[in-house]
Structure 1
Amino acid sequence: MVETLVTTYLEMTDPAEFKPAVIENIQGVSILGLETPDREFYRFLYREVGKAWRWRDRLLLSDGELTDILASADTSIDVLYVNGAPAGYIELSQCQKSTEIAYFGLRSGYCGRGLGKYLLSHGIAKAWNQNIQRLWVHTCNLDSVYALDNYLKRGFKIYKVEEEPMPKKYF
């Protein structure tokens, strides 16, 4: 276990900076919006996508708190399916003219196929279609070793790096 949490913040301030990923042979792959807030399905996705990366925050929320987030007009969640099975998701959170990629990732069995760059590209394109001026995301050294590289290859630029002792919630 690492002793220092390193968080990297990235942003895109112009849709022209976006470099979408194209993957070949995407048969059986689809992305659908989670139009009706479904707390238990969301928790399943969050747990499955985040367990390797020690995601905890949303698991600590009450049913009411999580329902409020999922039902907010500022939250959008798109789920990646492979042959009908949920493979990952991307969650956008809009605040005025800025959108955050709040959560993004794949279930472990779906990594290494190019699906992450495809899902991220989908989310970036969707965010820029919301008439925003800034898209941002943060990642840390607990995330996949490919996360930062994927963000940079899609056109994000680093604007801040923070280091702190590893919070107890990650032990």
Structure 2
Amino acid sequence: MNATPVTTWYLEMRDPAWLRPARVPEPAPLILRAEHPLPMLNRFLYTAVGGHWYWRDRLNWSYARWLAWLDRPALQTWVLYVRGTPAGYVELEKQAGDDVEIAYFGLMREFFGQGLGGHLLSVGIERAWAMGARRVWVHTCTLDGPHALANYEARGMRRYHEETRIVHLPAQPEGPWPGWDRSDDV
């Protein structure tokens, strides 16, 4: 394990008028809410998107824990599809005080550079406001995708807190499946 400094930025949107939607890519991708709580789907999305970025918090969750997280009215998962293929997702959680957190957001690497991330984030923020949010917030860090912070700010979210801490990490991320190697991403 390597001791690594990690900077985390907290961003918020306090008014839906702050949203600066990204352009809709052509052809327009489909974004659907996963209305049936299905732990396999969310675990797949979590590892497929976050495996490259040290997303580790949920790797050891059991089926029951995933189901308990998902099977709540406060939680929504929106999945981005490109030509029928899942390409990314946004997970929204309504919290006490009517804040809505963008709990997880991202694209699979194969879909980077197509304008999909800005569009998915725009739709995710719109859905968060539709949940009755008084504030939409998110945190991102230096372990997330290289364009995450810029995307949040480009959509109109504003930083309100920053912190740096030391985290102990393996030499490389876990990857999207057991035995993954960086050479698999050719």
Tell whether the structures are fold-level matches, with TM greater than 0.5: yes
Report what 1:128 is aligned to: 129
**Structure-to-structure mapping, 1:36-115, within 5 angstroms:** 36-96=36-96, 97-115=98-116
Question: 1:133 Cα deviation (Å)?
Answer: 0.8
CA contact (8 A) 1:54 1:170 kept: no
**Structure-to-structure mapping, 1:150-169, within 5 angstroms:** 150-168=151-169
Unaligned 5+ runs, structure 1: none
Question: 1:168 Cα deviation (Å)?
Answer: 4.3
TM-score in terms of structure 2 length: 0.87
CA contact (8 A) 1:13 1:134 kept: yes
Give the direction of change, closer, same or farther, for the CA distance of 1:69–1:82 in structure 2 (3 Å limit).
same
Query: Could you list the runs of 4 or more consecutive aligned residues of structure 1 that deviate by over 4 angstroms after TM superposition?
Result: 168-171
SS of 1:11's equivalent in the other structure is strand
RMSD of aligned alpha carbons = 1.6
TM-score in terms of structure 1 length: 0.94
CA contact (8 A) 1:79 1:90 kept: yes
Give aligned-pair identity as a percent. Answer: 43
Question: 1:25 Cα deviation (Å)?
Answer: 1.4
CA contact (8 A) 1:3 1:166 kept: yes
CA contact (8 A) 1:56 1:169 kept: no
Q: Deviations over 1:119-151 (max 9, x none)?
A: 000000011112211100000001111100000
* Counterpart-to-counterpart distance in 1, 2:147 and 2:65: 31
CA contact (8 A) 1:93 1:100 kept: yes
* Counterpart-to-counterpart distance in 2, 1:105 and 1:150: 11
**Structure-to-structure mapping, 1:131-150, within 5 angstroms:** 131-150=132-151
Paired letter, 2:6: L
1:35 is aligned to 2:35: yes
Question: 1:22 Cα deviation (Å)?
Answer: 1.4
CA contact (8 A) 2:25 2:114 kept: no
- Count how many residue pairs are aligned between Structure 1 and Structure 2: 170
Q: Deviations over 1:38-91 (max 9, x none)?
A: 111211111100011011112122221110111111100000000000001000
Paired letter, 2:39: R
CA contact (8 A) 2:79 2:89 kept: yes
Paired letter, 2:89: Y
Unaligned 5+ runs, structure 2: 173-186
Paired letter, 1:86: P
Report what 2:4 is aligned to: 3
Give the direction of change, closer, same or farther, for the CA distance of 1:45–1:170 in structure 2 (3 Å limit).
farther
Paired letter, 2:17: A
SS of 2:128's equivalent in the other structure is helix
